[in-house]
Amino acid sequence: MRKFLVLPLLVAFVGFTSCSDSEDNDEPVVEENNEILSYEGIELKLDDSDTEDYGIAFSTATGETYSYAEISADNIADIDIVSATNQAFIAFNSPDADDVLSEIEGAKSTKIQVSNVAMTVAEFDAMEDDTLLKDLTVSDDNEAQSITYREVVLFETAEGKIGAFKINMLNAQRISIDVKVMK
């Protein structure tokens, strides 16, 4: 009789614990509404890091990060932002301006504005639609910031979609950003 009681309890316990939601999930959070796409916790490797745990490039269309080895002529058109950040400064490249990706046919041009950005972190965090984005003009300034910079960076994809990302964290291996872009 004990076998019949213990077995269903064991199955219920295993089923319950395997369906639990983990708070330590490292996957980026993707939120979508009718006007913008939001990606949280996007991690890109530093240019001078030896780790292969993080991608070097990000696609706003797929929401995925890519290592150099994963980028080819088949998916280069998806890439919008390339991290040129290292342990000395924060910087980002357009795919067609990156030393490696510019050699792949189809690398597109993304405007990236790091300095004199007309959006605050508070405005970025509160953004729920494209109202702030659609009135912005992005100037491609090819600037870098100090590693203490925790503000907003603007970008405009080759397709004319304006977006912004907020710098969350930087350590010896990666930079973490949240991204919001027009659909």
C-alpha 22/C-alpha 108 separation (Å) is 37
pLDDT at 28: 58
pLDDT at 29: 56
pLDDT at 42: 98
> What token pair was written down for 68?
């150099």
The pLDDT mean for the chain works out to 86
pLDDT at 3: 45
C-alpha 80/C-alpha 146 separation (Å) is 22
Collect all residues with Cβ–Cβ distance below 8 Å to 84 and sequence separation of at least 6: 47, 91, 92, 93, 98, 144
pTM, rounded to two decimals: 0.81
Helix or strand or coil: residue 17?
Answer: helix
Residue 137 has pLDDT above 80, yes or no: yes
Q: What are the two backbone dihedrals, phi and then psi, of residue 87, each rounded to the nearest 5 degrees?
A: -80, 0
Q: Return the minimum-mean-pLDDT range out of 9-18, 40-49, 98-107.
A: 9-18
* Rounded average pLDDT over 73-78: 97
Residue 40 has pLDDT above 90, yes or no: yes
- Cβ count near 150 (within 10 Å): 13
DSSP 80: -
C-alpha 165/C-alpha 80 separation (Å) is 12
